[in-house]
Amino acid sequence: MADRVFFHIGLPKSGTTYLQTIMWQNRELLRRQGLLYPGRKRMEHYHAFRQAQGAPLSELAGNGDVWGRFTQRLAAWNGTGLLSHEFWSMLDADEARSAIEDLAPAEVEVVITVRDYVRQFPAVWQESLKMLSQDSFDEFMDKAFARRLPGPWSWRTQDVVAVADRWARAVGDPSRVHLVTLPPAGAPRELLWQRWREVLGFDDTGFDMSLAVGNESLGAPQAALLHDVKPYLSDPLSSRPEFHRWVRQYFGHEVLVPQNGPRFGMRPEQALRMRDLSLAAVDELGRTGYPVTGDLQDLVPPADPEVRPSPDEVSESERLQVAGRAIDQMIRDVRDLTRERDRLLAQQSRRTGMSAPAGNGTARVRRLANGLRTRAGRLLAQR
């Protein structure tokens, strides 16, 4: 059995994707050092969380009993294990205790990555926007202050004091709950990695750090446009798998993110309220005595934070520019795919001696462009 298991439970939007992708892509080098990061694909750690949370196996599609496979692999491993997904932070103390008991007799060390609330909540809103939330940024912040945010973006995963307390009770020893603070804005990105490596105690000599992938951010006008487009999405794009693939991944990450729009932030009054909450959290964490890698002062936002545009203040002109560039990108994508389709059809017709059906790519592109322009015009006319 693994003698020790590091349980990285988030928090969401605290550098988790960056850390996970480096570890996953270099997991063979980790294995040689005796550290097992189990799974056939990285997303299995999400499915393991869902199973431990109580999701029926029927809901996990082809990922049934992945938690059982993980615990079996760790039971057969002579060394150290690593489990990592940010949604583990959602578990209550009993659910966390049950997961920890499944890993017995290994000693579990809980790792929580965390950053200050003024940087955290804009990132959390953006992630919810790239999923199914319809809230504007101001609506989201109003719910945050009222503690009415739902699901994985709620205070259940963002309140580091409450999360650490639940897992400390589950693991039975606060000294086994490690806080890793994200460096302040402007610090080298590699500093987070160095802190992470210090906690887990491995050697990254030979690691390919170019394989690191961050969860890239939308600029203020790009986020505003995505928020405006969402009410117009029709079936099947409103279903979770289709939305994730085509709206979040394609439209969000492949079309809008590369536009490199200006970063956004809270309104000054929102930032001051969040700073007060950060100060209270730091004060409480300091009293509990959790081991900290980094500095709890990293969680204290500046008293005079940099003023950045709010997505809710983006002008119609800015939205229109973003929409025009997005339409151009999407038309070119459809053009390239249509050309590739026609090339493959022509190859097939030469092999079979049958005529390829008449191409309708140009007409389809024209219809797509007109439809997108019409929707963009309606969107702006209604503002």
pLDDT in tens, 239-295: 878 898 999 999 999 999 999 999 999 999 999 999 999 999 999 999 998 999 999
83, containing H or E segment: strand 80-84
Give the pLDDT band (50/70/90) at residue 215. Answer: low
What does residue 68 show for φ and ψ, rounded to 5 degrees? -60, -40
For residue 383, the model assigns a pLDDT of 45
For residue 131, the model assigns a pLDDT of 85
The predicted model gives 297-301 an average pLDDT of: 95
Write the pLDDT tens digit of every residue in 76-123. Answer: 999 999 999 999 999 999 999 999 999 999 999 999 999 999 999 999
- Listing from the earlier edge strand, what are the strands of the sheet with 292-293? 35-36, 80-84, 4-8, 107-114, 177-181, 292-293
Write the pLDDT tens digit of every residue in 329-361. Answer: 999 999 999 999 888 888 888 888 765 555 555
Q: Give the Cα separation of 172 and 110 in Å (integer).
A: 11
Instruction: Please enumerate, as own/partner, the contacts of 269-278 that have beta carbons within 8 Å and a separation of 24 or more.
Output: 270/141, 271/118, 271/301, 271/305, 273/145, 274/117, 274/118, 274/121, 274/301, 275/117, 275/118, 275/300, 275/301, 275/303, 275/305, 277/117, 278/116, 278/117, 278/118
* Domains contained in the chain, CATH given: 4-118+155-217+266-303 (3.40.50)
Whether the Cβ atoms of residue 30 and residue 105 lie closer than 8 Å to each other? no
Give the pLDDT band (50/70/90) at residue 379. Answer: very low
Six token digits for residue 147? 């503690």
Give the pLDDT band (50/70/90) at residue 50. Answer: very high
Q: Is the pLDDT of residue 304 over 90?
A: no
